[in-house]
A and B are shown apart, each in its own frame.
Chain A
């Protein structure tokens, strides 16, 4: 099968959906000639023109309000917020408007929009450009939260997000845009709420998403050499979450390690632990372990930055503690 960069898979999803549906358009900062901060949209301005690739001033509230208003009136916008850190400038539009409009208007209105953004550490860009804020959105009823790790998943899930009738927060990771992965030529979509077992195993389940998936796979490789068989579970979408698949995996392995790059306090990992405790405690043979980021701002210095986020070694250590 051919291989595509993660960012080219994003572009291909946009092209296919824009060709399929004239209501789909892109809006965001520096997405015109510049092609987006991570160049996922390079060439799209030429292909679709400024009416469908709308390059905006630095106005996060107006970008997302613009997407919401267009969604309310028949369009399907894909709004890009350059860094997830900048979503903080427009939380009213995300939390009080996009997430609530359908519910509070008694289904009179709905908001079919995608908020595309990216987060995560690893580029030495410090505290305001490296956060993992997915838990903020996960917490809000009315938002779907998608965090694909591979080229295959990012393409299939972005197409589904664009077709979804509700607001979707689509979070990429800045360290994986140039990762290559197999993407079929023929069209496909991936439904929300369907996890993917990225590696089958029998001794322990490792729950990991976005860039942490790759750390978990590396850990599983090393542990296999020591005779420990890890099942690497990628939820792909955090809302909706494929709880049944997770519990099935736990039933098989009876052990769970949850990995998340975000600061541990109030994290997705904490909630996954609670869910599995509630629903599958009897299948566990030991405590669930969390491997998370430190409760710290992300530092600039590379040594300090790397110390803030989980690595292969920290995952291996956690697995060994419960094996």
Chain B
């Protein structure tokens, strides 16, 4: 494998920062009730989305989960439209109809976040079918969690994709928790990647806090899929820094676990250190990226705040028609 270019690594750092800061801000606005309903922050898991989405092209597809902001941003989503959607505004990605769990963007091949755990997995089969039928070498990345891996639909979908050799890359973000249920207590054999063997497809276990390792593994699986060999299953071991949602204190976790993960396996801190040590970037340059990111998120908040609400009359006329 070729050595990763500096530019690509800096680009990945920018995306990691963009997702982290965006998510921190959404938690703040959730606590101020500017954002309501359900919000599932992706903080701590950014390296999976960034590494994976950097390994595909713009015309490739992704399908996401209820914890989907990171995937959307990694694929290039517009922060203004995302924030406006979270604020329930008419200018949001879903015109205020969807909120956090339904952001989709056809231009970006982003086939939607999903409020149903496992709901997107079979849809990736269909996108895989169309990629295969149109025969232009497109692929789809299907993100899901350790919780969804225990849903029956996982088996149906991976089996069918493997039988039809569809270009689907299944990326399981094993962040250890499905709300309160730890994957150590819910995944028999504790080896989701190992299930690949049963389907006769490649399976990989990667450190999901290492953006380069994720990137390189997804790239390998994408290449395999583009050549018509079919799907792969990647289990990225990662960690959810906050609870299931901003109001969840995560009291079900063993004492010290989160602190340990945050101090040792923070994908953003570790990647910054790596790039500085390898002299790919300076601290001053990182500060600049941070400032620029804050500015863009400020602008997204301003856009969301100043945007109009969806019109009730219009909604009612649509319902009646």
Which residues of chain A have a CB within 8 Å of any CB of chain B?
A: 25, 27, 51, 54, 56-57, 59-62, 64-75, 77, 92-93, 96-97, 101, 103-109
Contact = CB atoms under 8 A, between A and B. Distances in A.
Interface stretch (B23-31, B130-138, B214-222, B281-289): B130-138
A65 B129 contact: no
B122 interface: yes
B194 interface: no
A64 B122 contact: yes
Contacts of A69: 63, 111, 122-130, 140
A70 B188 CA distance: 32
Contacts of A101: 104, 112
B296 interface: no
A106 B106 CA distance: 12
B246 interface: no
B227 to A, nearest CB: 18
Contacts of B140: 69
B116 A57 contact: no
Contacts of A56: 160
B93 A92 contact: no
Given A96-B115, A103-B97, A109-B111, A61 B128 contact: no
B157 interface: yes
Contacts of B133: 25, 51, 70, 75
Contact of A104 (B102, B106, B128, B159): B102
Contacts of A51: 133
Interface residues of B, number: 42
B152 to A, nearest CB: 7
Interface string B80-114: 00000000000011111110001111100001101
Given A61-B152, A75-B133, A109-B106, 11 more contacts: A54-B129, A57-B163, A59-B156, A60-B156, A66-B160, A69-B129, A70-B126, A92-B116, A97-B119, A104-B97, A107-B95
B129 A70 contact: yes
A104 B98 contact: yes
B153 A66 contact: no
B121 interface: yes
B157 A62 contact: yes
Given A96-B116, A106-B93, A61 B156 contact: yes
12 contacts: A69-B125, A70-B126, A72-B123, A72-B126, A75-B129, A77-B126, A92-B116, A97-B123, A103-B97, A105-B103, A108-B105, A109-B106
A62 B160 contact: yes
Given A96-B119, A103-B97, A73 B111 contact: yes
B144 interface: no
Nearest to B114: A97
A70 B119 contact: no
Contacts of B121: 65
A27 B130 CA distance: 12
Contacts of B170: none
Contacts of A107: 95
B61 interface: yes
A57 B159 contact: yes
Contacts of B105: 108
Given A56-B160, A62-B157, A65-B157, A73 B119 contact: no
B126 A105 contact: no
A97 B160 CA distance: 19
A183 B152 CA distance: 43
Nearest to B117: A92
Contacts of A61: 122, 152-153, 156-157
Nearest to B106: A108
Contacts of B122: 61-62, 64-66, 68-69, 93
A92 B163 CA distance: 23
Contacts of B157: 59, 61-62, 65
A74 B159 CA distance: 23
A73 B93 contact: no
A61 B121 CA distance: 10
Given A66-B122, A74-B134, A103-B97, A97 B129 contact: no
Contact of A105 (B63, B112, B160): B112
A48 to B, nearest CB: 12
A73 B131 contact: yes
A8 to B, nearest CB: 27
A182 to B, nearest CB: 34
A218 to B, nearest CB: 37
Nearest to B310: A106
B130 A65 contact: no
Given A59-B156, A62-B156, A92-B119, A105 B129 contact: no
A66 B129 contact: yes
Contacts of A65: 121-126, 153, 157
A57 B140 CA distance: 21
Contacts of B98: 104-106
B306 to A, nearest CB: 19
Contacts of B106: 108-109
A61 B155 CA distance: 10
A62 B153 contact: yes
A66 B156 CA distance: 11
Nearest to A101: B112
